[in-house]
Amino acid sequence: MPTVTIDAKQYEAQAGETIIRVAERNGIDIPSYCWHPALSVAANCRMCLVEVEKQPKLQPACQWAIADGMVVHTRSPKVLEARRAVMEFLLLNHPVDCPICDQAGECKLQDYWYEHDGKASRLVGEKVHKPKAERLGPLVVYDAERCIRCTRCVRFCTEIAKDPVLAVGNRGNHAEIILDQGRKLDHAYSMMTAHICPVGALTTTDFRFQARVWMLESTPTICPGCATGCNAWIDQTRGVAKRMRPRDNPEVNDFWMCDDGCLTYKRVEEDRVLCAAVGRGAARKETSVAAALTEAARAIGQVPAAVVAAVLGSEHTSEDNFVLVKLARDLLQKGTGALYLTGRPPGEADDLLRHADKNPNTVGAVQAAAPSTLRGFEDLLNDADAGSVKAAIVLGAHAPVPEAELAPLGKLDVLVVLCANRGPLSELATHVLPAASWAEVSGTFVNAKGQRQRLRPAAPPRGDSLPAWDLLGRLARKMDLALEYKTLGEVERAATPAQVTA
């Protein structure tokens, strides 16, 4: 194994490894714009130039491979002067519009200017002007004047998204990112081009002018958009989610998320259920959670236990589903065939990240029901139509079938739906209980690979909503049944989950 000396300290390296990878692994910061660990090496920004002893000139750390005994200096006078020169050239025609740029606060151009240049421009003539606020696609806006032509976006589209829709056009100071003729930047991962842009050249339409990044609080979470379970950050201010972005995890999503996943934060507010309601149709009235629980408990108590169903939710956490299974088995005295499953209908998939199962916790719901086998949603509809199910407690308001097929559920004497957002099932419910959303709870999802991953609350529950496991416990106590879970920790210990991986 070759060894290399970087800034007077010796490190081991893998054969063929580049200087920047060894430095990054050992906590040594070598500035760069064009380099990204998942993309091919372009070596065009020249910001990562380092001094390698016995070499006649500075070398790009992103491209130069380690040799045994190599001695590297990352902050020698030659290196620092080169970085200052690179920064001056990059800023020569840059608009320096930081006060209105959404990248301000997390911009490498800002950071490196403060560290390596910090001087006023020596330009005396007019700057080169280029197109601004150009829509490359439905979700991405391009400002050519801010662009430093690092080509990260070009390489991402070609190498990761497998859609070479972007390229570099023109030459010299007039070079800019262009679209393939007749194309739009509209593939399923277009927002990642803005995510990996090191400056403010590419921004997303949903986050433009929404908030300053230093006003945001970031919480690690799991994307609820599909069964892949991409690790993510949800950024919010004053309890309102403003964006989602990928959180690196080589075992799950590497560095990426799809556009649908990046936009799932909007679900937190869409058709939000903020208070409880009792009744169907025109007779439905809003009420307190306590009153709705009392009425739901009374209604369920009037139905024989043999015809009460528990419908687990593949959008809900494993802990929510575990408590519902516990209620069904221990309190309603149900057998192994009493558990059903609901969730969102399937959708598009690809070979990168998108999974056809558009629910984050189908595997977790199945595990919560074990050793029982969950029956499908179609079975619930058939049993409701046949009269063998007359009441149901449901986690989630979405169904995997068209609304036109849900008519049998309208025949149920009691349909208690716990949900954060309105959906087809909540419209048919006799009792609606406001559940906290995925962005407001702690718990775990199990993805399609069987990896159990943790959710963390980014904001407190909205309105009167409570975690679904808590609502189920309160419902049980209203029925004079002792479901002994007062905290999430108690639920997790009882559920004895597998190791949490993220």
Angle at the Cα of 21 (from 20 to 25), degrees rounded to 5? 115
Angle at the Cα of 482 (from 481 to 486), degrees rounded to 5? 130
Q: Determine the residue type at 248.
A: D
User: What ranges make up the beta strands (E) of 291-379?
Assistant: 308-313, 339-342
Tell me how far apart the alpha carbons of residues 229 and 189 are, in angstroms, rounded to a whole number: 16
Distance of CA 421 to the CA centre of its chain: 18
Tell me how far apart the alpha carbons of residues 297 and 478 are, in angstroms, rounded to a whole number: 6
Angle at the Cα of 302 (from 298 to 306), degrees rounded to 5? 125
Q: Where are the domains of the chain?
A: 3-90, 125-209, 276-495
Q: Output 406-414 pairs: Cβ under 8 A, ≥24 positions apart.
A: 406/381, 408/381, 408/382, 408/384, 409/380, 409/381, 409/384, 410/280, 411/384, 411/385, 412/384, 413/299, 413/302, 413/303, 414/296, 414/299, 414/300, 414/303, 414/308, 414/390
Enter the tokens of residue 443: 């718990």
Is 424 in contact with 406 (CB distance < 8 Å)? yes
User: What ranges make up the beta strands (E) of 256-379?
Assistant: 276-278, 285-287, 308-313, 339-342
The whole-number pLDDT of residue 497 equals: 59
Is 275 in contact with 463 (CB distance < 8 Å)? yes
The whole-number pLDDT of residue 74 equals: 97
Query: Which overall architecture, per CATH, does domain 125-209 show?
Result: 2-Layer Sandwich (3.30)
Characterise 73 by phi-psi region: left (phi > 0), alpha (psi -120 to 50), beta (else): beta
Q: What residues pair up with 280 in beta bridges, in sequence order? A: none
Tell me how far apart the alpha carbons of residues 289 and 471 are, in angstroms, rounded to a whole number: 9
The whole-number pLDDT of residue 337 equals: 56
- Look at residue 17 and give its three-state secondary structure: coil
What is the arrangement of strands in the sheet containing 9-12, beginning at the earlier edge strand? Answer: 9-12, 3-6, 70-73, 49-52, 59-60
* Helical H segments across 351-398, by residue range: 362-369, 377-386
| Residues above pLDDT 70, as percent of the chain | 97
Residues (pLDDT < 70) of the chain are: 331-337, 496-502
Burial class (CB in 10 A: 0-12, 13-18, 19+), 139: buried
Query: Which overall architecture, per CATH, does domain 3-90 show?
Result: Roll (3.10)
The whole-number pLDDT of residue 318 equals: 96
Torsional sign, CA 236, 240, 242, 243: positive
| Domain 276-495: CATH class, spelled out | alpha beta
CA distances in angstroms from 294 to 191, 351, 450, listed in the order given:
46, 48, 37
Enter the tokens of residue 248: 């690196």
Enter the tokens of residue 299: 């209604």
DSSP one-letter code for 445: E
| Per-residue b or e along 210-230, where b marks 16 or more CB atoms closer than 10 Å to that residue's CB | ebebeebeebebbbbbbbbbb
- Look at residue 134 and give its three-state secondary structure: strand
Whether the domain at 3-90 and the domain at 276-495 fall into the same CATH topology: no
Name every residue whose Cβ is closer than 8 Å to that of residue 112 and which is 6 or more positions away in sequence: 31, 47, 83, 87
Rg (CA), the chain: 28
- Look at residue 468 and give its three-state secondary structure: helix
Enter the tokens of residue 441: 């709870």
Backbone angles phi, psi at 285, to 5 degrees: -135, 140
Tell me how far apart the alpha carbons of residues 177 and 150 are, in angstroms, rounded to a whole number: 10
Tell me how far apart the alpha carbons of residues 407 and 401 are, in angstroms, rounded to a whole number: 11
What is the pTM for the complete model shown?
Answer: 0.93
Enter the tokens of residue 394: 């449901």
